């Protein structure tokens, strides 16, 4: 069935959003939504230190190009043009680990996500992963079910306290996240979409070296390049269920000023994309002794110029040896994006985001987008300027209208590879309950 036909179950899953926009008095709407989270008040939940958190996000993006394939690409997540989408219906079971005591403690999080965003958060959608990528049948092109978080946090009272995370979890890299309620803007920058990891499987340990400095060190599974006789280059970052014998280093450090107005985070991941066994099989079939290291770092500066002015500056840079999509030459990508946000009131914020992303060898944009239309590939610069409003009329309700202009140099990246620019205007509604 075509995606533009909004099916019955999507209407059911969008019920919280319809409730938020209903003509019911505000008190009644809030009461009904709060009733959905009454489970947190159950005695056994409180005794176990457990809580649930859930949200729904739906929106629509108008594309001035009116592309024939209905795709906003290379913008992903809010990637369908001129269609209403249920982006995320998410739920979490959480136990916060106590890191302030002198005793061992265990916490963790399990996150389930359904919607058009979920396909970007499944295990290795590019390389044939099946752990959560196939929970919903392959005939479902746009709507998937993902499990981006499934981890335990263990606090160990050694020194100032070690916190160890084990399982599958969102990356520590970059500024924005894959969970809708945690972002200011509706859409994402190219650095997030094409440059960075989304999730990892493995273990990290975080230690507060100083009251202003914490360090994280860990090991996560390497990516996985789909092997079908030869490498095809569509390597994801999270190799769980396909690459358990291959491990990468993941680590970083965060410094925060005494007044918490400024912070700086530096993170890095490095290691082989494929396992030794896969590489040996590739060499046996092709005679190519492939080097396989991929190294990526991200730097994020955050600063509050005043009580209401918030600034973010991020720089990413990645390189992969002998990339199959670059004729087995090394491939490189890098970018800068910045955000300035102003709190007009306690409930209304205005933000401006600008970005430049360089796909230096044409191996990222157009290659890392599951279930997307065919995108232009090749060495190119991508630019984006976004003006957005974030309005929270209630604690459980957030509206994010935004206007965004994208343009490219080197390829015609928009409107079915016919134009070098596009203007989109979108708005979504996020309800937490």
State the pLDDT at residue 276: 76
Provide the b/e sequence for 234-272 (b: ≥16 CB within 10 Å). bbbbbbbbbbeebbbebbbbbebeeeeeeeebbbbbbbb
CB-CB contact of 282 with 328 (8 Å):
no
Q: Is the distance from CB of 151 to CB of 166 less than 8 angstroms?
A: yes
Paired tokens of 227: 């092997």
What's residue 5's pLDDT?
Answer: 41
pLDDT of residue 98: 93
Which string of DSSP letters, residue by residue, matches 232-247? -S--BS--TTT-TT-E
Radius of gyration (C-alpha) of the chain in whole angstroms? 22
| Residue closest to 417 by CA, chosen among 369, 378, 376, 367 | 376
Supply the DSSP symbol for 212: T
Question: 247: which 2 tokens?
Answer: 């491990």
CA dihedral 191, 197, 198, 203 (to 10 degrees): -150
Residues 6+ apart with CB under 8 A from 245: 275, 276, 277
Between the two ends of the chain, the Cα-to-Cα distance in Å is 31
Burial (0-12, 13-18, 19+ Cβ within 10 Å), 11: exposed
pTM above 0.85, yes or no: yes
Q: Could you tell me where the beta strands, DSSP code E, fall in 175-308?
A: 199-210, 213-221, 247-256, 262-272, 293-304
Query: What SS3 state is found at 294?
Result: strand
SS3 state of residue 17: helix
Structure tokens given for 114: 């359904």
pLDDT tens for each residue of the chain, 433 residues long: 334 444 444 554 455 555 555 555 555 555 555 555 688 888 899 889 999 999 999 999 999 999 988 899 899 889 999 999 999 999 999 999 999 888 999 999 999 999 999 888 876 555 455 566 667 766 667 888 889 999 999 999 999 999 999 999 999 999 999 999 999 999 999 999 899 998 999 999 999 999 999 999 999 988 766 544 545 555 677 766 666 778 999 999 999 999 999 999 999 999 988 777 777 777 777 788 888 899 999 999 999 998 899 999 999 999 999 888 888 899 999 999 999 999 999 999 999 999 999 999 998 887 655 556 667 778 999 999 999 999 999 989 999 999 999 999 999 999 988 999 999 999 999 999 8
| Per-residue confidence (pLDDT) for residue 283, from 0 to 100 | 79
Q: Which of 51, 77, 272, 45 is nearest to 177 (CA)?
A: 77
Residue 222: predicted pLDDT? 82
pLDDT on residue 58 = 96
The whole-number pLDDT of residue 369 equals: 59
Question: What three-state secondary structure class fits 423?
Answer: strand
Q: Which long-range contacts (CB under 8 A, 24 or more apart) does 324-330 make?
A: 324/225, 324/230, 324/231, 324/232, 324/233, 325/233, 325/361, 325/362, 325/363, 325/367, 325/377, 326/361, 326/362, 326/363, 328/288, 328/290, 329/361, 330/361
- Cα 334 to Cα 339: distance, rounded to the nearest angstrom: 17
Between the alpha carbon of residue 60 and those of residues 1, 34, 72, 399, 428, the distances in Å are 20, 26, 11, 12, 6
DSSP string computed for 58-112: EEEEEETT--TT-B-TT--SS-BTTSEEEEEEEEEEEE----SSSS-EEEEEEEE
**How much is the pLDDT for 1?**
36
């Amino acid at each position: 069935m075509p995606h533009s036909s909004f099916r019955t179950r999507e209407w059911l899953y969008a019920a919280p959003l319809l409730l938020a926009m209903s003509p019911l008095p505000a008190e009644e709407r809030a009461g009904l939504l709060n009733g959905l989270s009454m489970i947190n008040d159950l005695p056994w939940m409180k005794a176990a230190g457990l809580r649930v958190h859930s949200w729904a996000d739906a929106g629509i993006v108008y594309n001035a190009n009116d592309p024939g394939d209905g795709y906003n690409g290379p913008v992903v997540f809010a990637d369908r043009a001129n269609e209403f989408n249920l982006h995320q219906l998410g739920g979490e079971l959480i136990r916060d680990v106590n890191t302030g005591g002198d005793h061992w403690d265990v916490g963790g999080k399990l996150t389930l996500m359904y919607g058009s965003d979920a396909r970007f958060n499944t295990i290795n959608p590019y390389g044939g992963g099946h752990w959560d990528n196939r929970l919903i049948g392959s005939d479902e092109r746009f709507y998937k079910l993902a499990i981006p978080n499934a981890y335990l946090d263990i606090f160990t009272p050694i020194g100032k306290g070690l916190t160890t995370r084990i399982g599958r979890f969102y990356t520590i890299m970059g500024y924005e996240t894959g969970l809708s309620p945690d972002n200011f803007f509706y859409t994402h920058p190219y650095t997030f979409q094409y440059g960075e990891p989304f999730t990892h499987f493995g273990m990290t340990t975080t230690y507060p070296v100083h009251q202003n400095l914490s360090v994280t060190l860990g090991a996560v599974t390497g990516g996985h390049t789909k092997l079908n006789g030869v490498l095809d280059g569509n390597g994801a970052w999270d190799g769980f269920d396909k690459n358990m014998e291959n491990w990468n280093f993941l680590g970083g450090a965060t410094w925060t000023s005494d007044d918490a107005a400024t912070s700086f985070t530096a993170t890095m991941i490095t290691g082989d994309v494929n396992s030794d066994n896969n590489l040996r099989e590739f060499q046996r079939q092709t005679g190519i002794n492939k080097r396989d290291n991929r190294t990526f770092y991200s730097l994020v500066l955050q600063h509050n110029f005043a009580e209401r002015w918030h600034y973010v500056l991020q720089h990413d840079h990645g390189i992969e040896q002998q990339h199959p999509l670059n004729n087995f030459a090394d491939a490189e990508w890098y970018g800068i994006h910045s955000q300035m946000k102003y709190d007009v009131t306690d409930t209304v914020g205005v933000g401006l985001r600008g970005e430049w992303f360089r796909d230096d060898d044409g191996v990222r944009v157009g290659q890392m987008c599951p279930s997307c239309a065919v995108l232009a590939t090749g060495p190119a610069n991508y630019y984006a300027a976004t003006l957005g409003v974030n309005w929270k009329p209630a604690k459980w309700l957030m509206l994010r209208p935004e206007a965004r202009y994208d343009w490219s140099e080197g390829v015609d990246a928009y409107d079915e590879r016919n134009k070098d620019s596009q203007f989109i205007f979108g708005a979504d509604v996020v309800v937490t309950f």
